[in-house]
Structure 1
Amino acid sequence: MEKQILFAGVLLLSLLLAGCLPANGTQEIPSPALQKQSSSKDKNALIIATGDMSGVYFSLGQAMADMYEKYNGAASATQITSASIQNARLTSQKKVELGFASVDVLDRETQKPEDADSRTKLRALTGLYANYVHIVTTEKSGIRSLKDLSGKRISLGSNESGTKLIAERTLLSAGLTKNDIHKYFFSFSQSADALRNGTIDAAFFSSGLPNPEIATLAAQLPITLIPIPKEIVDRLHEQYGFYMERDIPRETYGMKRNIETLAVKNVLLTYRDLPKQEAYELVDTLYTHLPELQQIHPAARDIKLTDAKTGIPLDFHPGAVKYFTEHEIIH
Structure 2
Amino acid sequence: MKTGTLIKILVLLLFLLIGCITVSRELFPSGVQTVPPPAEELTESQTPLVIATGDMSGVYFPLGEAMADLFRKYNGKAAGTQVTHASIQNTKLVSQKQAELGFSTVDVLSLPETKKKKILALTGLYSNYIQIVTTKSDIHTLEDLRGKRVSIGTVESGTKLMAERVLKAANLASNEMDVSTLSFTQSADALRNGTIDVAFFSSGLPNPVISELASEMKISLIPIPKQMAKSLHEKFEFYTLDEISSQTYAGIKRTPTLIVKNVLFTYPDLPKQEAYKIVKTLYDHLPESKNAHLEAMELHLSNATAGIPIKLHPGAKQFFKEIIH
- Answer whether TM exceeds 0.5 for this pair: yes
Distance 1:256 1:211, change over 3 A: closer
DSSP-derived class of the 1:129 partner: strand
DSSP-derived class of the 2:176 partner: coil
How many aligned residue pairs are there? 299
Task: Provide the identity percentage.
Answer: 54
Report the AA paired with residue 55 of structure 1: G
Aligned to 1:172: 168
Q: 2:195 aligns with which of 192, 199, 213?
A: 199
Residues 42 and 75 in structure 1, CA contact (< 8 A), matched pair in contact too: no
Distance 1:280 1:37, change over 3 A: closer
Task: Measure, in 2, the Cα distance between the counterparts of 1:206 and 1:251.
Answer: 18
Task: Measure, in 2, the Cα distance between the counterparts of 1:226 and 1:256.
Answer: 10
Residues 128 and 266 in structure 1, CA contact (< 8 A), matched pair in contact too: yes
Distance 1:165 1:234, change over 3 A: same
Q: 1:319 aligns with which of 291, 315, 318?
A: 315
Residues 250-269 of structure 1 aligned to structure 2 (within 5 Å)? 250-269=246-265
Cα-to-partner distance string for 1:228-276 (whole Å, 9 max, x where unaligned): 1111111111001110111111111023531110000000010011000
Task: Measure, in 1, the Cα distance between the counterparts of 2:198 and 2:81.
Answer: 30
Q: Which runs of 4+ in 1 moved over 4 A?
A: none
Structure 2 runs not aligned, ≥5 long: 1-24
Aligned to 1:28: 34
Aligned to 2:66: 63
Q: 2:83 aligns with which of 69, 72, 80?
A: 80
Deviation at 1:27, TM superposition (A): 0.7
Task: Measure, in 2, the Cα distance between the counterparts of 1:63 and 1:295.
Answer: 8
Residues 201-280 of structure 1 aligned to structure 2 (within 5 Å)? 201-280=197-276
Cα-to-partner distance string for 1:274-303 (whole Å, 9 max, x where unaligned): 000000000000000011112221111211
Aligned to 1:150: 146
Cα-to-partner distance string for 1:94-133 (whole Å, 9 max, x where unaligned): 111100000001111xx22xx5xx1111100000000000
Deviation at 1:24, TM superposition (A): 2.4
Deviation at 1:42, TM superposition (A): 5.2
Task: Measure, in 2, the Cα distance between the counterparts of 1:48 and 1:304.
Answer: 21
CA RMSD of aligned residues (A): 1.6
Q: 1:103 aligns with which of 103, 106, 130?
A: 106
Instruction: Give the structure-2-normalised TM-score.
Output: 0.89
Report the AA paired with residue 311 of structure 2: D
Deviation at 1:139, TM superposition (A): 3.9
Deviation at 1:57, TM superposition (A): 0.2
Instruction: Give the structure-1-normalised TM-score.
Output: 0.87
Q: 1:309 aligns with which of 301, 305, 312?
A: 305
Task: Measure, in 2, the Cα distance between the counterparts of 1:199 and 1:78.
Answer: 31
Task: Measure, in 2, the Cα distance between the counterparts of 1:303 and 1:229.
Answer: 28
Structure 1 runs not aligned, ≥5 long: 1-20
Task: Measure, in 2, the Cα distance between the counterparts of 1:42 and 1:100.
Answer: 27
Deviation at 1:322, TM superposition (A): 0.3
Deviation at 1:35, TM superposition (A): 4.1
Residues 49 and 79 in structure 1, CA contact (< 8 A), matched pair in contact too: yes
Task: Measure, in 2, the Cα distance between the counterparts of 1:256 and 1:61.
Answer: 29
Task: Measure, in 2, the Cα distance between the counterparts of 1:301 and 1:48.
Answer: 19
Report the AA paired with residue 30 of structure 2: N
Residues 135 and 225 in structure 1, CA contact (< 8 A), matched pair in contact too: yes
Larger radius of gyration: 2
Deviation at 1:30, TM superposition (A): 2.4
Task: Measure, in 2, the Cα distance between the counterparts of 1:301 and 1:88.
Answer: 24
Task: Measure, in 2, the Cα distance between the counterparts of 1:130 and 1:277.
Answer: 27
Aligned to 1:138: 135
